[in-house]
Amino acid sequence: MGEKEKLILIGNGMAGVRTIEHLLKLAPDKYEITIIGEEPHPNYNRIMLSSVLAGGANMQDIIVNDWDWYKDNGIQLVTGQKVTKLDTKLCTVTTHTGAQYQYDRVILATGSNPFMLPIPGADKEGVIAFRDIRDCETMMETSKTYKKAAVIGGGLLGLEAARGLLHLGMEATVIHINDYLMERQLDEPAARMLQRELESQGMKFLLNKQSASITGRGRVKALQFADGSELKTDLIVMAVGIRPNTELAKSSGIEVNRGVVVNDYMETSVANVYAVGECAEHRGIAYGLVAPLYEQGAVLAKRLAGVETAGYAGSVTSTKLKVSGVDVFSAGNFTETASTKALRIQDDLGGTYKKIVIENGKLVGAVLFGDTTDGTELFSLIKKGENVEGREKELLLGISLDQLGGGNPLAKYEAMPDDEIVCGCNGVSKATIVEAIQTKDCNSVASIKACTKASGSCGGCKPIVEGLLKVYAGDAAAEPVKEGICGCTTLTRDEIVAEIQRMRLLTVKEVMNVLGWNEPEGCSKCRPSLNYYIGMLFPEEYVDEKESRITNERFHANIQKDGTFSVVPRVYGGVTTPSDLKKIAEVAEKFEVPMVKFTGGQRLDLLGVKKEDLPKIWEELDMPSGHAYGKTLRTVKTCVGSTFCRFGTQDSISMGIRMEKAFERLNTPAKVKLAVSGCPRNCAEATIKDLGVVAIDGGWEIHIAGNGGVKVRATDLLCVVKTEDEVMEWSSAFLQLYREHAVWNERTSQWIERVGLDFIKKALENKEDRLALKQRIEKTLSLTNDPWKEIIENKELRKNFEQLTGLEPATK
């Protein structure tokens, strides 16, 4: 085989990476592939950002292709780098750092930029877009200090942003220039119904308002409108649209109109340069929905692979989505004109609305609100362009089974065209799902999700996937296989733990082999969980598999958005000494740490540490790790208590330090935060922690399962005890119970909602049971050591660390 061609993808987003996925299936050995992305993350599902903001998902949940996927497919991934120059004559790509890459073919997948209103004050602090993970992080951080938010734009993106801000505890007001919401996806009656529903959820609206300027000295204080009125606000999110990112193409001499101009094969005006996704303009249209972008990617992949293809002819689009828990659907041209006839049915009591638009005997548009069951079938009829005269009322009242297949409830799934997009979030067609069922033995929703990603995001397409299973899997799908902890297995957490314990399985690989994993190497969801479960069950025998841990835990530091790391030494109970402060300051100066910040957990955070400096910094600090990166005990926050405070009833400082020294390095299913308050005034915020202790006259209250994060949850009172020893007994028992029964990555606040407070109280009410749990947690803790001390002092661990990270720790 000859030398591989060099293919560079500029942009690590959904459309570009989907193109590469197709290409790898068609011609896995044809190209040496390099992907360059501006963000410091692997490819993630931008559609799911609203779920991250609303607390329904975290960054790990929305990653489409994790770091291992690039490595496994031989792809060089360059993150945190912006391509600033594309030389189409020398065939080189240059990033903002000066790094240069040679190509034979290059794909522009630069996406789009959020449109920011060019009004006075738009550059102030607190004015952002809603486009990427960084915007989500800004909103989350802002919500901790400020309470009033304004979202400019009443389209889908704006409403999702507003819903997320409500979840963060902020007041959210949506400003829209039109007189009703989502005018591109809904007609006025449906939009009014949506507005009423969102208002009942706490959202506020200012319609027919034109934003004129933003006031405030450094930070935004108010949004002023053209009519002279204003809205006081602490945060402004602009969600008024997107524009194709054509900057690089334009500077490279490539033809640009609204987007990068491409032909039916996604070829630009320059040879060997292609464009795909939101940055591309095809036949005068730049698409913003994911399904057309995936269709473009499929065509481009075939072109690059040398496979014959008909070319991309454009897309008829539909929108099926969930806005703050409400299902909406629209397709085609639903605006009424002189040449169209509209039929509608509206149920204000049931909260449903349906409208279809007919032109020249054909269905040309539809809007559904509340019940979107018929959306797929209506969209299919719109795309087919078939005559529906005489059947209009049937379409309005519900898709006729006779029309779709003679009374067979599954006939509508057979009637779907092969190219019908079933999963809009991931661009998965009916043909792809049917192929998975027929050729890859996928006989459950879970296995189809693992194989094709269909139903893997919002889940709205799950009923259709189930219908296709019944049609094309036949008897094999009569009893659907239950979903497991991930797509690699059908086993649940409890089944896996029981089998590990029964057969004494002591390695991740052994568990996967013995329990029949579908993927022999597992995935980023199951590997860390198995690693935890084995260590929890057999702490004395198990050797921790660092390669099965998440990235932060492998580096023993928090990776930041620019690729640097955050180092947090342990400060017990928030109490330090002048010598330790001096040591931290000297290390920060020596290694030119950009920022030293006090954390919310009463510690010092060294931010911006270079990866190669991590071992040397920890060696010179010579302090225990604060484990700010792991699924373990993070902090024990304390107030000064009776030591200094005139209101203090107990010594909260010594109690907090005792707890932190007892539980440091404890591996847990998810991160755990503790706090000890010296009186019911609760200055340490113990009632929003995983475990909180509040001093009262003559004793202590023990509170459990709180959360001060995105989804705030106040603690439940577990018990009241008299002595510090009893605090340790109940705390140890509670934490071990959580360790033994929670699902991997399940916070205590989620765990208690699943198992109930009564389960926890009953499990801990007997002293013998509490002491048994306490004994098990103490055994586990006796076997743990500070990770950096081990790495620095142990040759074998140094070697393992070097293999995992590409670094060699400093040695004394």
Q: Where are the alpha helices (DSSP H) in 504-627?
A: 508-514, 526-537, 551-555, 578-590, 614-621
Largest CA distance in the chain: 87
Asked if 93 contacts 100 with a C-beta cutoff of 8 angstroms, the reply is: yes
Whether 732 and 618 have beta carbons less than 8 Å apart is answered as: no
Contact assessment for residue 193 and residue 177, using Cβ atoms and an 8 Å cutoff: no
In the three-class reduction of DSSP (H, G, I as helix; E, B as strand; rest coil), residue 225 is classed as strand
**How far apart are alpha carbons 206 and 657 in whole angstroms?**
51
Question: What count of residues does the chain have?
Answer: 812
Alpha-carbon gap, residue 33 to 56, rounded angstroms: 34
Residue recorded with tokens 């190219």: 419
Is 488 labelled a binding residue? no
Q: Distance (Å, rounded) from C-alpha 363 to C-alpha 384?
A: 9
Distance CA 428, CA 465 (A): 11
- 164 Rama class: left (phi>0) / alpha (psi -120 to 50) / beta: alpha
Using the CB atoms, write b or e for 313-339: b if 16+ within 10 Å. Answer: eebebbbbbebbebbbbbbbebeeeee
The annotation status of 645 as a binding-site residue, yes or no, is yes
576: number of Cβ within 10 Å: 18
**Tokens at 538, concatenated:** 């057999």
CA distance linking residue 14 with residue 329, whole number of Å:
22
Give CA–CA dist 437/452, Å, rounded. Answer: 10
Q: Is 683 annotated as a binding residue?
A: yes
At 149, give phi and psi (nearest 5°): -130, 145
Token digits of residue 210: 């034109």
Query: What is the rounded distance in angstroms from the CA atom of residue 373 to the CA atom of residue 672?
Result: 42
Dist. CA 631–CA 669, nearest whole Å: 6
Evaluated on CA atoms 636, 668, 69, 447, the torsion sign reads: negative
- What stretch of H or E contains 127? strand 127-129
Q: Which of 727, 801, 717 is nearest to 770 (CA)?
A: 727
Backbone torsions φ then ψ of 216, nearest 5 degrees: 135, 150
For 396-437, give the secondary structure using H, E and C.
HHCCCHHHHHCCCCCHHHHHCCCCCEEECCCCEEHHHHHHHH
**Cα separation, 739 vs 671, whole angstroms:** 11
Q: How far apart are CA 232 and CA 211, in angstroms?
A: 13
Query: In terms of DSSP bridges, do strands 204-207 and 171-176 run parallel, antiparallel, or are they unpaired?
Result: parallel
Identify which of 168, 118, 163 has the alpha carbon closest to the alpha carbon of residue 140. 168
Q: Can you list the alpha helix ranges (DSSP code H) found in 235-391?
A: 247-251, 290-305, 375-384
639 marked ligand binding residue: yes
The token pair that represents 183 in the structure block: 């005018």
Rounded-to-integer distance, Cα 788 and Cα 809, Å: 9
Cβ–Cβ < 8 Å for 100, 92:
yes
63 and 44 in contact (C-beta within 8 Å)?
yes
Which residue has tokens 């389209």? Answer: 155
* Residue written as token pair 């070319």: 311
The distance of Cα 31 from the centroid of its chain, to the nearest Å, equals 30
Question: Tokens 């990555």, residue?
Answer: 745
The DSSP element (H or E) to which 100 belongs, if any, is strand 100-102
User: If you ran DSSP here, which 8-state letter would residue 40 be given?
Assistant: S
Binding-site members are 639, 645, 679, 683
Binding-site members for [4Fe-4S] cluster are 639, 645, 679, 683
Binding-site members for siroheme are 683
